[in-house]
Amino acid sequence: MAALEKIRSKAVFLIFIIGLAMFAFIIGDFMSSGSIFFRQSQERIISIDGESTDIQTFQEKLEQLTNIYKMQSAQTNLQEEVQESLNQNVFESIVAEKVLSKELEKIGMTITAEELFDLVQGENISPIVQQMPMFVDPKTGVFDKNRLLSFLKQINTEDLEEYNEETREQLSQARDYWLFFEENIRLQRMQDKLFSLLRVALEPNSLSLKNAIAEQDKAYELSYVEKRYNSIPDTSILITEKELKQEYEKTKEKYKTGERRVVNYVALPITPSEADNQETLSQIMKAKEELLSGAKGEDIVNEYSDEPYDGVFVAESSLDANVLSFVKNGQSGDIQGPDFDGETYQLTLIEKKEVRPDSVRVSIITIPAMDEVSTERKADSLLKIGSDLDFDKLVAEYSNGSETKADMGWINEMVALKSVGEEFRDKTFGGKVGDIFKIKTGYTTIIVKLTGKTQPIPMVKLAQVKMKVNPGSNTYNKLYNDLNALCANTNPEEIQKVASERGYEVSTESLSPNDYSIGTIRGNVRPVIRWAFNNKEGERSEVFETQDHFIVLDIVLAQKGDYLPITEVENQLRMSILDRKKAELMLKSLSSKSFSSLEDYAKEWNEDIQVVDSTSFAECFIKGMGIEPFVQGNIWNTSKGYFSQPIQGNDGIYVVRVDEVMDNSQNQSAEMSMQMLDRRNTYLIYSQLLETLKDLSNVKDLRYKFY
């Protein structure tokens, strides 16, 4: 009992301890899950109706598309404009897939595995596949299903051990390539299904056909007088702040916008100084002295030039005029230059002049990738066959029918060097027509047959030292320090005055989150824009370096989205109010007068009577007037002699008389009108379907946080 009493006396304390422990457990769990939520939020790059896509998923898709683009374009280093386009392509495809899937799910539609199979290798193969060059027969220019099936068989092989490392990598890339296009085919099919459903739902009917014909079956010849709004001075009209606010609220939807930043910035171009020019000239003169002292052209080019030595013969006819004149009148060992084109110094050494073929023609068999010993054995066995070797037959056999021709066409020395290598260049241009030999390139072995050479022409081998004048470290540091000093000692209000005194210009630009330029400045500006959207109004950046500028900026407006502020659209608001008030004044001045003819109005307004030869309700533009829907609506379905009351238009007040109503029905038919309506509906659905779904899906684009 004593023990129980002791426990009872401590009960309140125990309950408090247990409660504290439970709270610690719960809050600990919350904090753990909260940190996960926070991390997920930080990694979100796209949000569609609250459903997120993370940066890892986006980056994987971007890398996949980038690799495919590199494969197709044979480029390794992509321009920023290309990277921007690929990034946008990935964003659009993710958004399209999400919004289309959601819409199809609502109505119970889906893309089945059987349907997708039919589109990629069945009886109804997608046009996307049929247009891929690798599946087109080069002889007929027509899609060849056997080529497609052979490709799919190759990339779906399960036993990769029989292939070497390079071939396994190629198969992996080909598989990624195909999966990318398969996803695009699925996405296109989703869009086509929804499009077809809407097209049927909006198919023109008898009522819409009747209206369409009515809009076009009459043409009107008009006479009119116009009193333009700009005939009244703007200064004669008073507009209050209250009226501006009322107009803004009434027309607010016109000014809907996304998140943006308005910035003031100073940008200094990173250009070389005269000292940089003299330093480059000094270096190329040093290169010339070494050449004159007997140094090898190859060594000097590789030591001094911006471009490596290639050692190829080029046709004299391909040289620019300045170098051609030097080559024609020079001999081996002669040196020209340095020449300067405003950006680059160039030194030219004639190494050798010969009369020789400028191109060769070759046929090539690529030996299937096996282990090194097996590959070499196969290559040697083919070489023993010699001139009887059927290149086209073996190419078709080794490519499983996806290739049928071994002929690679005519190639010059540079192409031979860049595409295969130095040994290939030397053997093709140094050999005789009919020669057959093997070349090992990395993991691949090829059998080459020299099938032709062009007639000999004057050729020359040059060693050229090219040195672009670039900003040196002193120039670079001075520009950076000058801009840094300007910004360190001025506030946003002072910078315009101080920058002007120092010869700099302060520019203003409105930025969107995913812009790739600031004004005319392009190249490596994404870090600058990313900074702008991750900071607040009134803040100033550090000095950023873009591709060819130093730049610093002040954020003067940080708009989260929604609507443009009234201060930025005040001019548009004023114009709308001015036109409306001027119209009211004009109409009021006419209210006490009884005019019965166009001539009366022309005399009152001191304006000429204008004539419109022909217009119809279906037209959106009236010759001489422009876009004036109220005028068109007023005259439609009227008779000859109709005389309108004053009409308040977009640009002025109009009074119109119908001089003639012409029958235009012979130019129309029910069939033509139906086709026109169908084409119009088709265009509207296809052009606006995705955009409309995106507008309804609350799409948030957060790429600016990462790219």
* Res 334: pLDDT: 93
Identify the H or E element spanning 571.
helix 570-590
pLDDT band at residue 170, thresholds of 50, 70 and 90? confident
* Res 542: pLDDT: 92
In the numeric block, the tokens 């009919």 are attached to: 434
* Res 7: pLDDT: 36
Say yes or no to pLDDT of 205 above 80: no
- Rounded (to 5) percent helix, strand, coil in the chain: 50, 20, 30
What tokens does 258 get?
């996304």
- Would you kindly state where each structural domain of the chain is located, as residue ranges? 1-106+202-217+665-707, 111-181, 218-255+569-663, 259-271+472-560, 274-356, 359-453
With pLDDT > 70 as the criterion, what percentage of the chain qualifies? 88
Mean per-residue pLDDT for 603-625?
Answer: 88
* Res 270: pLDDT: 95
* Res 274: pLDDT: 95
Mean per-residue pLDDT for 377-389?
Answer: 74
* Res 381: pLDDT: 75
Spell out the residues 6+ positions from residue 39 whose beta carbon is closer than 8 angstroms to its own. Answer: none
Say yes or no to pLDDT of 348 above 60: yes
For 67-98, the pLDDT digits (tens) are: 888 877 777 788 888 888 899 999 999 999 89
Fold of 218-255+569-663: Chitinase A; domain 3 (3.10.50)
What is the DSSP code (8-state) at residue 265? Answer: E
For 627-645, the pLDDT digits (tens) are: 999 998 898 888 999 999 9
Say yes or no to pLDDT of 25 above 50: no
Query: CA angle 419-343-312, nearest 5°?
Result: 25
Mean per-residue pLDDT for 105-133?
Answer: 86
The mean pLDDT of the chain is: 84
Say yes or no to pLDDT of 402 above 60: no
pLDDT band at residue 695, thresholds of 50, 70 and 90? confident
Which of the two residues, 674 and 48, has the higher pLDDT score?
48
pLDDT band at residue 36, thresholds of 50, 70 and 90? very low
* Res 110: pLDDT: 84
Which of the two residues, 107 and 546, has the higher pLDDT score?
546
Return the beta strands (E) in 616-692 as ranges.
647-648, 652-663
Which of the two residues, 469 and 106, has the higher pLDDT score?
469
CA separation for the pair 200, 7 (Å, rounded)? 80
The three-state secondary structure class of 450 is strand
* Res 666: pLDDT: 64
CB 60 within 8 A of CB 50: no
Residue (of 205, 230, 87) closest to 607 by Cα position: 230
Which of the two residues, 406 and 483, has the higher pLDDT score?
483
Report residue 458: phi and psi, to 5°. Answer: -65, 125
Strands 218-228 and 652-663: antiparallel
Mean per-residue pLDDT for 168-179?
Answer: 80
For 358-372, the pLDDT digits (tens) are: 999 988 887 766 666
For 424-462, the pLDDT digits (tens) are: 888 989 889 988 888 887 667 888 888 899 999 999 999
Say yes or no to pLDDT of 688 above 80: yes
* Res 204: pLDDT: 75
The three-state secondary structure class of 360 is strand
Mean per-residue pLDDT for 650-661?
Answer: 94
Whether CATH 3.10.50.40 fits 259-271+472-560? yes
Look up the pTM and report it. 0.66
Least confident window among 216-225, 493-502, 515-524, 606-615: 493-502
CA separation for the pair 487, 494 (Å, rounded)? 10
Q: What class has domain 359-453?
A: alpha beta
